[in-house]
Amino acid sequence: MNLVVLAARLLALGLFVCASTPAAAGPASDEDWRRMLAGPWVEAYVMGIEHKTYHPGGEFESRLRIPLPERDLEILSRGLWSVENGHLRLVVRESSRPEFLAPGRENRFRLVSLDGRRLVTADADGVPGYLCRPLEPAHRALIERYLDEIEAAQVKTALEAQRREMVDQLREYEYEGKSEAADRLLTDRVVAFLEKAGRFEAFREYYIHLYGSTFTAAEITALLDFYASEAGQAIRRKQPEIFERAQRDARNRMALISPGLNLLIQSTLREIKQRGGS
């Protein structure tokens, strides 16, 4: 397996991805959408946090911050926005990092729903995007408390399990000059990189806005109350064991089915070759 692909897959395991699309309807007309979209928004990606402002006159400005192992990458952009037939159209006019976001780039998103302070969009492939209004200080404080008391430990447990899995995978990785010392050097460097790139603190803002666009302040309060209860304490105490056992059993299950899966792939590739790639 390609090491870059392997590293990306393992990093992704520790991150939450919100994939459900709510059924709430949006405004009835493009004019209503334009009126209700105006103002500041925040969108949380796994790659970073984007702060956007849609001005009533049809201009927008954006600040995207991407946490990287060495230092954060910030991309500032300006452009034009409009709503056409239920789709949000964005055209970039200026960019501080044109090598990543070139002027002239155009994106279109279907406007799915606008429910209170949360906007849901969908790209051309139907992948949903979630934007929310900037969090109120009290709401943000509740989320930070929840992350510090509950989520941080769970994420760090998941990352530690991934680190161990990476060590196991690297031991099986074949390369020129492979030796015990070379394996140790490669493992140490890759694990150090992943620990730095996947550290919880680097994605703290992502989690804050992820939870902020999903849970109300009342719901976060209820979650905190639950985890303070006897049942909640039991979940916190036993969840690391459940996670580790599930990960181990999943790897063992994959090892059992891998030979059959490899045979299926190889036979299918031979069949495709015999058909001339058709």
Q: Are strands 118-122 and 128-132 parallel, antiparallel or unpaired?
A: antiparallel
Which of 275 and 38 is assigned the larger pLDDT?
38
* 121-141 average pLDDT score: 93
Whether pLDDT at 255 is above 90: no
Question: Range with the lowest mean pLDDT among 22-36, 80-94, 232-246?
Answer: 22-36
Indicate whether 278 pLDDT > 70.
no
* pLDDT 10s digits, 89-109: 999 999 999 999 999 999 999
Is residue 56 pLDDT above 90, yes or no?
yes
What pLDDT is recorded for position 121? 94
Mean pLDDT of the chain: 82
Interatomic CA distance for residues 63 and 52, integer angstroms? 7
Q: What pLDDT, in 10s, does the model give residues 141-173? A: 999 999 988 877 777 777 677 777 777 777 777
- Given pLDDT bands bounded at 50, 70 and 90, which one contains residue 13? very low
Question: What are the contacts of 108-115 at 24+ separation with CB within 8 A?
Answer: 110/86, 111/26, 111/33, 111/83, 111/86, 111/87, 112/21, 112/22, 112/26, 113/21, 113/22, 113/23, 113/24, 113/25, 113/26, 114/24, 114/26, 114/27, 114/33, 114/36, 114/37, 115/22, 115/24
Q: Measured between alpha carbons, how far is 105 from 64 in angstroms, rounded to an integer?
A: 16
Provide the pLDDT for residue 178: 80
Residue 16 or residue 260, greater confidence: 260
Least confident piece of the model among 32-36, 126-130, 138-142, 183-187: 183-187
Which CATH number fits the domain 24-132, given the four candidates 3.40.50.300, 2.10.50.10, 2.40.128.280, 3.40.190.10?
Answer: 2.40.128.280
Q: Which residue ranges does the chain devote to CATH 2.40.128.280?
A: 24-132
Mean pLDDT of 178-196: 79
Q: Which of 35-49, 114-128, 131-145 has the largest mean confidence?
A: 131-145
Is this structure's pTM higher than 0.75?
Answer: no
pLDDT score, position 235? 85
Q: Residue 175 above 50 pLDDT?
A: yes
Q: What is the pLDDT of residues 198-239, one digit of tens each?
A: 666 667 888 888 888 889 999 999 999 999 999 999 988 887
The pLDDT, as a whole number, for residue 166 is 73
| 51-60, 111-120, 172-181: range with highest mean pLDDT | 51-60
